Chains A and B, each alone.
Chain A
Amino acid sequence: MTRDIMAEIKQEITDHPVILYMKGTRLMPQCGFSAAVVSILEEMGVQFKDVDILVDAEKRQAIKEYTDWPTIPQLYVKGQFIGGCDIVRDMHAKGELEPLIKKA
């Protein structure tokens, strides 16, 4: 059976209220932008699922097409795409991120 990568992503995003597609893992981020989002989420003390796209070339490409967003990291809350590093950082600075995630 061929892999239905889009369905796989959809399932992951549905199963995890807060999910971060990133380069590396939360313990060992491989990119500064991914690391920045991890530290914001950890600072807020939220539970989140991390998905390392560096170990899955197919998913790395698919996640960009899934949301029509060309870069990693990508944060999803309750199935909704929130943004990449800039937007997450900006929302966090404005205090808009926490209420969104705490309701998740």
Chain B
Amino acid sequence: MIDLETIKKQLQINLPDAQITLRDLTGGKDHYEMEIVSTAFHAVTPVNRHRLVYGALKTFLDSGVLHALTFKTRTPDEK
């Protein structure tokens, strides 16, 4: 289990301009849905956008505190 603030802080280390909205899907604090808005996604394919996010959260995924997360990525210009 991991809380929202920890995830946000970790993401903002790699994606400093990221605007992050998080929702706890089950109330169990291990399945989250989030939307991440960052200029870093500009001209990056969906798979590589996900890799950027997974990369930022690697510690949590490797240790298993974060089992799964579902997220949408967009740049500030995208709807």
Interface bin, chain B: 10 to 19
Residues in A with CB closer than 8 Å to B70 are: 33, 85-86
Interface residues of A in 50-104 (CB under 8 A from B): 68-71, 81-87, 90-91
Chain A residues 2-42 with CB under 8 Å of chain B are: 31-33
Determine the main DSSP class of B at the interface with A. Answer: helix
Q: Which residue of B lies closest to A89 (CB)?
A: B70
Write the nearest CB–CB distance from A37 to chain B, whole angstroms. Answer: 12
- List chain A residues, Cβ under 8 A from B51: 68-69
Q: Contact check, B47 vs A70: say whether CB atoms are below 8 A apart.
A: no
Contact with A along B23-39 (1 / 0, CB 8 A): 00000000100000000
* Chain B interfacial positions (CB closer than 8 Å to A): 31, 46-47, 50-51, 54, 58, 61-62, 68, 70-72
Which 4 pairs show the lowest CB-CB distances between chains A and B? A70-B61, A87-B46, A70-B54, A86-B70
Give the interface of A toward B (CB within 8 A).
Answer: 31-33, 68-71, 81-87, 90-91
New A-B pairs, 5, CB < 8 Å, besides A33-B68, A70-B54, A84-B50: A31-B68, A70-B61, A71-B68, A87-B50, A90-B72
